[in-house]
Structure 1
């Protein structure tokens, strides 16, 4: 499949035989486009994925009709490396939280802790700085406005 458009860091539109389909990346929760770090995370993923061919393993649909999928980046021609899991890449670079609501401990949590200790991406102001997207979505407009600043080093 080919990525046609990056909606935000964990939602994409892919080209299909029937047109386009919206895909939600499993294993992570990335900042919403309108919250602190959202634009940066979306831009990073956009630069990485736009027009790229990826492998998808669809595992159902969410409440919004998006396909829930594991996404793997295809290696460059003649690369000695195999595919790379996109959820791992986002967590390691610090642009998403490890997120698996069906598990007590997300599989990528060790990678998230590593990114936090290194101060990468949204963790550059420390682990207490960023607001999880599930919390952000529940905030009213005034609370979001007060918390829109993000990290002063951004």
Structure 2
């Protein structure tokens, strides 16, 4: 696949140049801070071109070269599918562990040790997204990367889905398609007034033309997502700001998997959100930045995670009797 894949895999990493502060080099010739992720990315790229695995890997694992080649095939596919690809040692470790979970524990740990990546027992526990669609899910969304401004509060996000997605492609209104084409032509003529007017037509229809990092443009459908089963403090409530900031931290710049269970009375999609294998609702509950919304969702695991945060007096549970957001909203609707 040439140098483009290499840049895609490890463009964030580089060797020190003149003027950089000297740093110790790891076995792959990069700094200790980046050796794990960049070396793994480099070797995956190298395997894709040559079908060769690193020579020294056999010093760390017991399986044959043939078995090792099978690992790299799987890792190459997993890395390509990861959106975004791993950037930290922890993310790279989880990708390796998740991809090679059926292989010998000693080999997986040996591979991680070869790259200086964190071993399984040092990683905080993160649940994997369900391998099959959970019961009651009406549809599934794979979103484009989320903008921080799209997070309204601790339990609501606006996301966009590429209309090239099979679920979306057949449902785009003809007028939206035509407006997107005309907008591109107007921009090519530098008629930005016309282009802006057409963008408004597209936005009013529930879509948006989104520019990517290389100035490529994507026509995408807008969805407002209400996180199922939790209720975060409102922005002006105690811990409302912290809840929003935590949700931004979890999803900003990342592609999400949304299991949608239906719509609420405000037209929002009610769903479970997973981000790089992380179940977002679980994180929010365990950090004490959301209530279990038991009136609408009786899943016992949500109640358990809230109970654990209460017991640890984390987040909003530093108060013995924090105000419930649904009661706070009711009081304001009633003018009290």
TM-score by length of 2: 0.37
Q: CA deviation at 1:102?
A: 4.2
Counterpart mapping for 1:1-154 below 5 A: 1=143, 2-4=145-147, 5-17=150-162, 18-74=220-276, 83-103=277-297, 106-126=300-320, 128=321, 130-140=322-332
Q: CA deviation digits over 1:31-87, x for unaligned, max 9? A: 11122211111111112211211111111100001111110111xxxxxxxx12111
Q: CA deviation digits over 1:95-149, x for unaligned, max 9? A: 00111424556531111111011111111123x1x11111010113875xxxxxx
Give the number of equivalent residue pairs.
Answer: 133
Q: CA deviation at 1:8?
A: 0.5
Conserved in 1, the CA contact under 8 Å of 2:250 and 2:275? no
The answer for unaligned runs of 5 or more in structure 1 is 75-82, 144-154
Distance 1:104 1:66, change over 3 A: closer
Q: Please say which structure displays the higher CA radius of gyration.
A: 2
CA RMSD after TM alignment: 1.9
CA distance in structure 2 between the partners assigned to 1:35 and 1:60 by the alignment: 28
Conserved in 2, the CA contact under 8 Å of 1:6 and 1:12? yes
Structure ranking higher in helix proportion: 2
Conserved in 2, the CA contact under 8 Å of 1:99 and 1:106? no
CA distance in structure 2 between the partners assigned to 1:15 and 1:103 by the alignment: 25
CA distance in structure 2 between the partners assigned to 1:62 and 1:73 by the alignment: 22
TM-score by length of 1: 0.78
CA distance in structure 1 between the partners assigned to 2:247 and 2:270 by the alignment: 17
Conserved in 2, the CA contact under 8 Å of 1:25 and 1:68? yes
Structure ranking higher in strand proportion: 1
CA distance in structure 1 between the partners assigned to 2:310 and 2:302 by the alignment: 12
Q: Name the SS for the 1:12 alignment partner.
A: strand
Q: CA deviation at 1:27?
A: 1.5
Ranked by relative contact order (alpha carbons within 8 Å, sequence separation 6 or more), the top structure is 1
The answer for unaligned runs of 5 or more in structure 2 is 1-142, 163-219
